[in-house]
Amino acid sequence: MCSFPDVLYPCALVHWFSHVGQSADPGMGMWTVEPDVMDDGAPLATVIHLDTIIRAAHLLPVFGSSFVPEDLYFNSLDVYHSYFVNNNVNHHCHEYLS
Protein backbone atom coordinates (compact mmCIF):
# COMPACT_ATOMS: atom_id res chain seq x y z
CA MET A 1 0.00 0.00 0.00
CA CYS A 2 1.09 3.51 -0.77
CA SER A 3 -0.39 6.64 0.70
CA PHE A 4 -0.69 10.13 -0.71
CA PRO A 5 -1.38 12.40 1.22
CA ASP A 6 -3.73 10.47 3.53
CA VAL A 7 -5.35 8.14 0.99
CA LEU A 8 -4.16 4.50 0.82
CA TYR A 9 -3.64 3.05 -2.65
CA PRO A 10 -3.16 -0.69 -3.30
CA CYS A 11 -0.07 -1.03 -5.48
CA ALA A 12 2.54 -3.43 -6.79
CA LEU A 13 6.16 -3.14 -7.85
CA VAL A 14 6.43 -4.44 -11.43
CA HIS A 15 9.67 -5.43 -13.15
CA TRP A 16 9.13 -5.01 -16.90
CA PHE A 17 10.00 -7.55 -19.60
CA SER A 18 10.05 -7.35 -23.41
CA HIS A 19 9.49 -10.16 -25.87
CA VAL A 20 12.36 -11.56 -27.90
CA GLY A 21 11.76 -12.13 -31.60
CA GLN A 22 8.65 -11.79 -33.73
CA SER A 23 6.94 -15.07 -32.83
CA ALA A 24 6.74 -17.75 -30.17
CA ASP A 25 9.61 -20.21 -29.79
CA PRO A 26 8.97 -22.98 -32.35
CA GLY A 27 10.08 -25.77 -30.01
CA MET A 28 8.21 -24.66 -26.89
CA GLY A 29 5.31 -22.76 -28.45
CA MET A 30 5.84 -20.04 -25.85
CA TRP A 31 7.01 -16.44 -26.16
CA THR A 32 10.47 -15.64 -24.85
CA VAL A 33 10.97 -12.49 -22.76
CA GLU A 34 13.98 -10.71 -21.28
CA PRO A 35 14.06 -8.24 -18.38
CA ASP A 36 14.08 -4.58 -19.38
CA VAL A 37 16.99 -2.66 -17.87
CA MET A 38 17.98 0.98 -17.62
CA ASP A 39 21.22 2.41 -19.02
CA ASP A 40 23.07 1.61 -15.78
CA GLY A 41 21.93 -2.05 -15.86
CA ALA A 42 19.35 -1.69 -13.07
CA PRO A 43 16.01 -3.43 -13.66
CA LEU A 44 13.29 -1.25 -15.14
CA ALA A 45 10.60 -1.25 -12.46
CA THR A 46 7.49 0.79 -11.79
CA VAL A 47 4.96 1.04 -8.99
CA ILE A 48 1.46 0.60 -10.45
CA HIS A 49 -2.07 0.55 -9.05
CA LEU A 50 -3.47 -2.96 -8.54
CA ASP A 51 -6.51 -2.08 -10.64
CA THR A 52 -4.28 -1.89 -13.74
CA ILE A 53 -3.14 -5.54 -13.50
CA ILE A 54 -5.04 -7.88 -15.82
CA ARG A 55 -3.30 -11.14 -14.96
CA ALA A 56 -0.03 -12.36 -13.51
CA ALA A 57 2.50 -14.05 -15.80
CA HIS A 58 4.04 -17.44 -15.12
CA LEU A 59 7.69 -17.30 -16.20
CA LEU A 60 9.83 -20.38 -16.84
CA PRO A 61 13.59 -19.86 -17.08
CA VAL A 62 15.34 -20.63 -20.35
CA PHE A 63 17.82 -22.99 -18.74
CA GLY A 64 20.36 -23.42 -21.52
CA SER A 65 22.88 -26.25 -21.43
CA SER A 66 24.38 -25.79 -17.94
CA PHE A 67 23.21 -27.39 -14.71
CA VAL A 68 20.80 -25.55 -12.42
CA PRO A 69 22.67 -24.25 -9.33
CA GLU A 70 21.87 -26.21 -6.16
CA ASP A 71 21.43 -23.03 -4.12
CA LEU A 72 18.83 -21.55 -6.49
CA TYR A 73 15.76 -20.88 -4.33
CA PHE A 74 14.46 -17.34 -4.48
CA ASN A 75 16.71 -15.46 -6.91
CA SER A 76 15.94 -17.09 -10.26
CA LEU A 77 14.99 -13.72 -11.75
CA ASP A 78 18.56 -12.60 -11.03
CA VAL A 79 20.23 -15.76 -12.35
CA TYR A 80 18.59 -16.29 -15.74
CA HIS A 81 18.65 -13.85 -18.64
CA SER A 82 15.52 -14.94 -20.50
CA TYR A 83 12.25 -16.71 -19.74
CA PHE A 84 9.38 -18.47 -21.45
CA VAL A 85 5.91 -17.07 -20.73
CA ASN A 86 3.91 -20.18 -19.88
CA ASN A 87 0.71 -20.08 -21.92
CA ASN A 88 -0.41 -23.45 -20.53
CA VAL A 89 -1.09 -22.30 -16.96
CA ASN A 90 -4.84 -21.99 -17.49
CA HIS A 91 -7.44 -21.26 -20.14
CA HIS A 92 -7.57 -17.51 -19.44
CA CYS A 93 -3.81 -17.08 -19.75
CA HIS A 94 -3.86 -18.88 -23.10
CA GLU A 95 -6.47 -16.41 -24.40
CA TYR A 96 -4.21 -13.42 -23.65
CA LEU A 97 -1.07 -14.95 -25.17
CA SER A 98 -2.46 -16.49 -28.35
How close are the terminal C-alpha atoms of the chain, in Å?
Answer: 33
Q: Is the pLDDT of residue 93 over 90?
A: no
Residue type at position 44: L
In this prediction, residue 92 carries a pLDDT of 58
Q: What is the pLDDT of residues 9-63, one digit of tens each?
A: 899 999 999 999 899 888 888 899 999 999 998 989 999 999 998 877 888 888 8
d(CA 36, CA 43): 6
The domain segmentation of the chain, as residue ranges, is 2-97
Contact 45, 13 (CB under 8 A): yes
**pLDDT range class, residue 96, cuts 50, 70, 90:** low
d(CA 15, CA 45): 4
Reference 75, options 27, 43, 33, 30; nearest CA is 43
Q: Helix, strand, coil % (nearest 5) of the chain?
A: 15, 35, 50
Instruction: Please state the φ and ψ torsions of residue 86, each to the nearest 5 degrees.
Output: -70, 110
pTM equals: 0.73
